[in-house]
Structure 1
């Protein structure tokens, strides 16, 4: 296709994806209340444990503006719309990219997409658990103790943790894509395991809301485990493709390679070459 045809197809794909998100927004608006009840469960359980409320139904937040709760519901509905309509906009994205890929590239793309969703869900589940534990530590260690929170800040705190953990769990897929593309080898990634573990603990120390060692160690341990699983899969892929078994593997820089099976052939004189240009006439010298 020409450039204008590609742009026109991109416009049509984006329009269909936007329609899918719009339909998902209606579904997300309906499901926003049950989802918000799920998000506020750690906060309400903490208030109930400390005796601030008698039942879960008494759990309440502070609202600073009259439209804060409605805008927050729209934000939650938009997040749910992106999740619910993911098959639609992912298919449109795939339909636009797939014609430019080879058959084996399409096959591996299917596997990567199939693994991305479970990894993100695992990260979101871990974030929900860690954020709940970290919330108790933060509120109990403050000057005011366990008090009522502002609704928008609490929701931003929970959704931000879920998004951060979910995206972090996608990092092993990026390493696998580099390995399948031939950029990184499993042996090289194995040599970097100390750096990877250090970066995992440093990242967990910065991102987890709980300053205690439990949440940080749990998050860093899971990230390190995913890294070692990625290294194992990459080494299996390298063995399958025969990487590291090249003809010069294991030879020193100053060592010559063997020429087994090579028999030199004798060099014979070739036939004489006949002149292809007629000689000059005798009445002309070489200059003319």
Structure 2
């Protein structure tokens, strides 16, 4: 297969549109197989995951509130189990489908860009899991806050499907939010944005982070919003610091190369660009 792909390329190593479509179909098939295998594992793991996700509701019952999860129709329990299994499958198969995306894009990248991409994937996975964990940490606070608006004599019944959708969206949103600083570093390493530009935009970045945390958590729950926003702000400034250090190293290396050819004015130009 690989031999045929190499033979189908032209002298410049490029592939035709048809060959790109064949390659895309192959990568999608591998990703689908990995998710299908993960779905089987997720089916057996779903009771444990569901037990963890429903703990905030059970904690309300332990505090004397009448709270429970309900199923609105006869297929509700089955649909919930399938949804949890699919969520687990996507997480378990993430190394495979992320690699398939990378394998599809890698032929068009330089060797240095490939190394940057590998580093991005290596950092993105633990940060995404850390963000999902942060979302899980604030989930009980959100549930307690929302339940506090109901009178004590009223029962707190939640539809299983609605609650699961809310919990999964929260975990995914916070996980993706934690990955964004790594994306900024990747864009800096491949020359799309400079570190000084990232650093100078800190006011806008903090505002966007606060808005994101406010959307992900109820506006009245300031503690949960702070627990989400604080690590994201720290990650943003770490990303800006890494980008600035990388730019300095690149500028020094480039200035040295220009100096060898008698173009010392590069230093002045680079300072002007950095100030801009």
TM-score relative to the length of structure 1:
0.79
Q: After TM superposition, give the deviation of residue 251 of structure 1 in Å.
A: 8.3
How far apart, CA to CA, are the structure 2 residues paired with 1:182 and 1:99?
A: 19
Looking at secondary structure, tell me which structure has more helix per residue.
Answer: 2
Which position in structure 1 is the counterpart of 2:247? 238
For structure 2, the 5+ residue unaligned runs are 1-8, 10-15, 256-265
For 1:213 and 1:38, the matched residues in 2 are separated by 24
2:218 pairs, out of 206, 209, 214, with 209
- 1:128 corresponds to: 136
Match of 2:267 among 247, 251, 266: 247
Q: Once the 2 structures are TM-superposed, how far is the Cα of residue 137 of structure 1 from its aligned partner?
A: 0.9
Counterpart secondary structure, 1:174? helix
Equivalent position of 2:227 in the other structure: 218
Alpha-carbon RMSD across the aligned residues, in angstroms, is 2.2
Partner Cα distance (1:51, 1:136) in 2: 10
Q: Does 1:29 align with 2:37?
A: no
Matches within 5 A, 1:246-285: 246-249=266-269
Query: Which structure has the greater CA radius of gyration?
Result: 1
Q: 5+ residue gaps in structure 1?
A: 53-58, 253-288
In structure 2, the partner of 1:104 is: 112
**Partner of 1:4 in structure 2?**
18
For 1:72, the equivalent position in structure 2 comes to: 80
Aligned with residue 62 of structure 2, among 29, 33, 48: 48
SS at match of 1:149: strand
- TM-score w.r.t. structure 2 length? 0.82
Deviation string 1:59-100 (CA, Å, 9 cap, x unpaired) is: 842111000110111111111111112222222222222222
Q: Which moved more, 1:240-249 or 1:19-28?
A: 240-249
- Once the 2 structures are TM-superposed, how far is the Cα of residue 146 of structure 1 from its aligned partner? 5.7
Q: Does 1:227 align with 2:227?
A: no
- Give CA deviations for 1:121-160 in whole Å, capped at 9, x if unaligned: 1111111111111110110122465622211111111111
- Which of 196, 202, 210 does residue 205 from structure 2 map onto? 196
Residue of structure 2 equivalent to 1:152: 161
1:62 to 2:70 alignment: yes
The whole-number CA distance in structure 2 between the counterparts of 1:188 and 1:11 is: 38
Residue 169 (structure 1) aligns with: 178
Structure-1 residue corresponding to 2:150: 142
Across the two proteins, how many residue pairs are aligned to each other?
246
* Distance in 1 between residues matched to 2:150 and 2:219, nearest whole Å: 13
Q: Is the 8 A contact 2:251 2:270 kept in 1?
A: no
Q: Secondary structure at the match of 2:210?
A: helix
